[in-house]
Amino acid sequence: MSDQTGIAPARSTLSLHKLGVFCGLAAAVWLGSAEAPTKLVTEGFSPFVISIGMVMGAFVARWTVPTLLKGTGFLFNDLREKPHLIVWALLAGMLWAVGNTLTIFAVRNVGLSIAFPLWNTNSLVGLMWGCLLFKELRGSRPRDWMKVMGGALAIVSGATVLAIATTQQSGGAPGRAAVGIIAALGAGAMFGTMYIPYRKAYISGMNPLSFVTIFTFGELGAILTLGLIFFGGVSPLAGEIARARTMLFWPFVGGFCWVIGDLFQQYAAKYIGIGRGIPLSNTNQLWGLAWGALVFGEFTGLTGGSRLLIIAGSSIMIAGAVSISMAEPPPGEMENWHAAMHRECDRYGLDTSSVSAVVAGDDPLADHKHPRRWWEVLIMCLAAAVFVWLAAGTRAQHIYVNVPWMIVLIVSTIVPLALCGTLLWRRTRFS
Amino acid sequence: MKRSQWICILTDVHLWVPAAVLILGTALLMTLR
């Protein structure tokens, strides 16, 4: 492969706060849309097998997307400079795997409508850790506290209203409700805590694309270990996966879409912190609702009162997102952000000036194109082969789909990807 | 990594908070099967 060392054109001057807000909203679109393929999974499969399918899709996405955007040379250099963060990336992956499996237990026991808002409390957990461990919101004005706290609470409240409205239609699974609620809250705690490694990596100057390539080993290792324990060995687990072969493509695609949303979420966590970024990405429930209502016709028999509740819940969530978007951190808070960054530099011997540049989205190395390697082509070919292999063995699902609405939502999903991807490239070169 | 860096990692509160939550979450998952 050729060794390109050209310098890219000048960068845009978009504020990092605005960029982070766009990333948070784009994350919501993709995280919400990631649910759509999993709706095509018919009943009767173990939550673990569905989770393994998602993790397989996530594993493929977490290697192909960073390789495509930055190349393995850049990623390995970044990891070599901050090797201590490998521990946190693995830990975050394990937290995600356990949290994701808990969500599937929760959906099985109480239904998506109740489980979703409960695990969306992860934004409040993330807000607490951001404030306690990374000095987020410290030094900000009372009105900024009100905007962020009020916005996060509005998003959780909106989620609860939506849950009440949609539960009337879809109905929770009978019995085992308490276990489902505990599982959903547990998932919220796991996801909310997963943002500690995210934030730590980004105030240490790590690139989100490098972080996720290691993250995925944590999630794959954890889910396979849990699967082996649950099924009692390799043979029963392999048998269960083989039995699910005809539907494995759908959670695989869901996991792949989830990673694209998560990448935007990682950039939001980097540029506006977890206290602001995670509540924004948690508006994904609106997109999940749109897919359910418009494409899968889940709420055709909805009463007028329930429709009003859905409009109210959605409006509250949107108001919460708008409130957070307007809470740009003041200089007093930025000083605390820098203090958190200096703590990492002092503790792990990082170069402060280099880390400061990367944290500000101005990674000097990002402008230089890195040599492409032959194995990157191999990674892409293998990823495409896995997609084709899984798709070829998938049985058609007999489920109602509104094709015009599906096209509208697919376009609405691709537009933020192109828009936000372009903004990230022009402002930060994906750093 | 050097020994001193491992000590920094192992004594970092940023490690122990998520590690403790992971242990609790895994224990919860085990009780649900």
Q: What average pLDDT does this structure show over A177-198?
A: 89
Residue A393 pLDDT: 80
Q: How far apart are CA A183 and CA A170, in angstroms?
A: 19
State how far the Cα of A157 lies from the Cα of A109, in Å rounded to an integer.
22
- Neighbour tally for A220: CB within 10 Å: 19
Say whether pLDDT at A216 is over 50.
yes
From the list A199, A195, A148, the residue with the least C-alpha distance to A321 is A148
Mean pLDDT on A303-318: 83
pLDDT band at A3 (very low <50, low <70, confident <90, very high): very low
Supply the pLDDT for residue A175. Answer: 53
The residue of chain B nearest to residue A93, with distances taken between CA atoms, is: B22
A196:B9 CB<8 A = no
Arithmetic mean of pLDDT, A42-60: 80
Q: Do B22 and A230 touch (CB under 8 A)?
A: no
Q: Do B22 and A91 touch (CB under 8 A)?
A: yes
Q: Which residues of A36-71 are buried (b: 16+ CB within 10 A; e: fewer)?
A: bbbbbbeeebbbbbbbbbbbbbbbbbbbbbbbebbb
Query: What is the torsion angle, in degrees rounded to the nearest 10, for the CA atoms of residue A202, residue A149, residue A92 and residue A236?
Result: -150
Region A186-206: mean pLDDT is: 93
**Tens digit of each residue's pLDDT, chain B (33 residues):** 788 889 999 999 999 999 999 999 999 988 887
On whether any CB of chain B is under 8 Å from the CB of A114, the answer is no
User: CB distance from A105 to chain B under 8 Å?
Assistant: yes
Please give the structure tokens belonging to residue A117: 């808002």
Distance CA A335, CA A420 (A): 27
With CB atoms and an 8 Å threshold, state whether A193 touches B1: no
DSSP class of A368: B
Is the pLDDT assigned to residue A211 strictly greater than 80?
A: yes
pLDDT-derived band of residue A168, with 50, 70 and 90 as boundaries? Answer: low
Give the pLDDT of residue A322: 84
pLDDT at residue A1 above 60? no
Query: ipTM score of the complex?
Result: 0.96
Confidence tier at A86 by pLDDT (50, 70, 90): very high
Better-scored residue on pLDDT, A181 or A129: A129
What's the whole-number average pLDDT of chain A?
85
pLDDT (average), residues A111-127: 79
Assess whether pLDDT exceeds 60 at residue A7: no
Q: Which amino acid is it at A35?
A: E
Cα A101 to Cα A139, A230, B33: the distances in Å are 38, 12, 11
Chain B residues in contact with A94 by the CB 8 A cut-off are 22
* Cβ pairs bridging A and B (under 8 Å): 71
User: What's the pLDDT tens digit per position in A53-65?
Assistant: 888 898 899 889 9
Return the bridge partners of A7, or none: A368
Q: Which of A37-41, A92-96, A284-288 has the highest mean pLDDT?
A: A92-96
Of A207, A328, A330, give the one whose Cα is nearest residue A270: A207
Helix (H, G, I), strand (E, B), or coil: what is residue B26?
helix
User: Residue A368 pairs with which residues in a beta bridge?
Assistant: A7
Q: Is the pLDDT of residue A40 over 90?
A: no
pTM above 0.95, yes or no: no
Average of per-residue pLDDT across A376-398: 86
What number of other Cβ atoms are within 10 A of residue A17's Cβ?
A: 17
Q: Are A62 and A363 in contact (CB under 8 A)?
A: no
**Would you call B14 and A182 a contact, using CB atoms and an 8 Å cutoff?**
no
Share of chain A above pLDDT 90, in %: 32
Residue A52: pLDDT over 90: no
More confident residue, A243 or A5: A243
